[in-house]
Amino acid sequence: MRCAIAVAVATVLASGAARATDRPAALRDVTFTQRLGEPVPLVVPFRDEAGRTVSLRDYTGKPILLVPAYYTCPMLCTLVLNGVVSALRAVPFDVGNELTVVTFSFDPRDDAAAAAGKKATYLAEYRRPGAEAGWHFLTGDPTSIGALTDAIGFHATWDEANRQYAHASGIVLLTPEGRITRYFFGVEFAPRDLRLAIVEASADRIGTLVDDLLLFCFHYDPATGRYSRLALGAVRAGGVLTLVALVTAIAWWIRRERPGGAVA
């Protein structure tokens, strides 16, 4: 079975969180809660892509972009990593110089070989020298994974029927000392926002809460040939947003082309 992207809820913090009971059963315990200003555990052990025992303390000293993604995920984690590398290629800061990236698997069955394969793939996509020393792909046991996911408010659930995790998507930016400064949700990350957040993190400034449009990994049912009701709703919502954006852009250009209607 393949994973589909479903928008379970657009949770605008000002209006309060939507009820977990509004989601399908597989997603009711899936969360990604913002814990700004909180420290992450720096000393719990993980293994890097070479099988060496490491901890997040080894990577402090620069802002850390933390990417939760398990390496056998059939779709959503790949989209997150694609979005990360796309955004990083568009910012002036080099991974390994001004920034450290730590991708960690929340599946304890992933091993160093899987981590090494992912690292090779995304270093080739990033295409900047020196990144191999600054982008790390980690695996860990359930205790270490649980300590880190709890600290960043990330909770995934194992869907036994489909043999995959139900989880939300997003990335977390840490200060050089390992405190949470910013969340980015979804699978595409605006380079300008990421650049400014890195500058803030470098200065040890904690960001503000953001609206969390949570994208969840949910399954496609080959028996019925259908996606879940949530997934269909996400597609429809995406279509509406795209249409609104197009209409806005066309109106702006029409206004700009009219005599006396130039937009500054």
Which of these ranges, 13-17, 186-190, 199-203, 237-241, has the smallest mean pLDDT?
13-17
Stretch 120-126: mean pLDDT: 96
The answer on 95 and 41 residing in a single domain is yes
The answer on 253 and 180 residing in a single domain is no
The CATH number of residue 120's host domain is 3.40.30.10
The answer on 117 and 25 residing in a single domain is yes
Residue 262 included in any domain: no
Per the model's pLDDT, the better-predicted residue between 196 and 242 turns out to be 196
Residues 6+ apart with CB under 8 A from 101: 64, 65, 67, 84, 88, 95, 134, 135, 136
C-alpha dist (Å) from residue 213 to 13, 21, 51, 243: 10, 17, 35, 18
Per the model's pLDDT, the better-predicted residue between 250 and 163 turns out to be 163
| pLDDT given for residue 7 in this prediction | 40
Residue 121 included in any domain: yes
Stretch 90-119: mean pLDDT: 96
What is the C-alpha separation between 136 and 217, in angstroms, rounded? 24
pLDDT of 100 over the 90 cut: yes
pLDDT of 40 over the 90 cut: yes
| pLDDT given for residue 159 in this prediction | 82
The answer on 151 and 26 residing in a single domain is yes
Count of domains observed in the chain: 2
The answer on 131 and 249 residing in a single domain is no
What is the C-alpha separation between 88 and 195, in angstroms, rounded? 9
Task: Please give the share of the chain, as a percent, with pLDDT higher than 90.
Answer: 56
The answer on 237 and 158 residing in a single domain is no
The answer on 131 and 159 residing in a single domain is yes
The answer on 123 and 182 residing in a single domain is yes
Residue 168 included in any domain: yes
- The 10s digit of each residue's pLDDT in 203-221 is 888 766 554 444 555 443 4
The answer on 244 and 128 residing in a single domain is no
Per the model's pLDDT, the better-predicted residue between 30 and 18 turns out to be 30
User: Residue 56 in contact with residue 192, Cβ under 8 Å?
Assistant: no
The pairing of strands 135-138 and 180-185 is unpaired
Stretch 141-153: mean pLDDT: 97
The answer on 165 and 100 residing in a single domain is yes
What is the three-state SS of the chain? CCEEEEEEEEECHHHCCCCHHHCCHHHCCCEECCCCCCECCCCCCEECCCCCEECHHHHCCCCEEEEECCCCCCCHHHHHHHHHHHHHHCCCCCECCCEEEEEECCCCCCCHHHHHHHHHHHHHHHCCCCHHHCEEEEECCHHHHHHHHHHHCEECEEECCCCEEECECEEEEECCCCEEEEEEECCCCCHHHHHHHHHHHHCCCCCCCCCEEEEEEEEEECCCCEECHHHHHHHHHHHHHHHHHHHHHHHHHHHHHCCCCCCC
CA dihedral 104, 108, 109, 111 (to 10 degrees): 40
What is the C-alpha separation between 121 and 233, in angstroms, rounded? 32
Residue 12 included in any domain: yes
Residue 263 included in any domain: no
Residue 264 included in any domain: no
**How high is the mean pLDDT of the chain?**
80
Stretch 131-154: mean pLDDT: 97
The answer on 161 and 55 residing in a single domain is yes
Which domain, by its residues, includes 159? 3-221
Q: How confident is the model at residue 132 (pLDDT cuts 50, 70, 90)?
A: very high
The identity of residue 179, as a single letter, is R
Residue 119 included in any domain: yes
The answer on 108 and 234 residing in a single domain is no
User: Residue 205 in contact with residue 212, Cβ under 8 Å?
Assistant: no
C-alpha dist (Å) from residue 240 to 15, 215, 233, 243, 254: 21, 17, 11, 5, 21
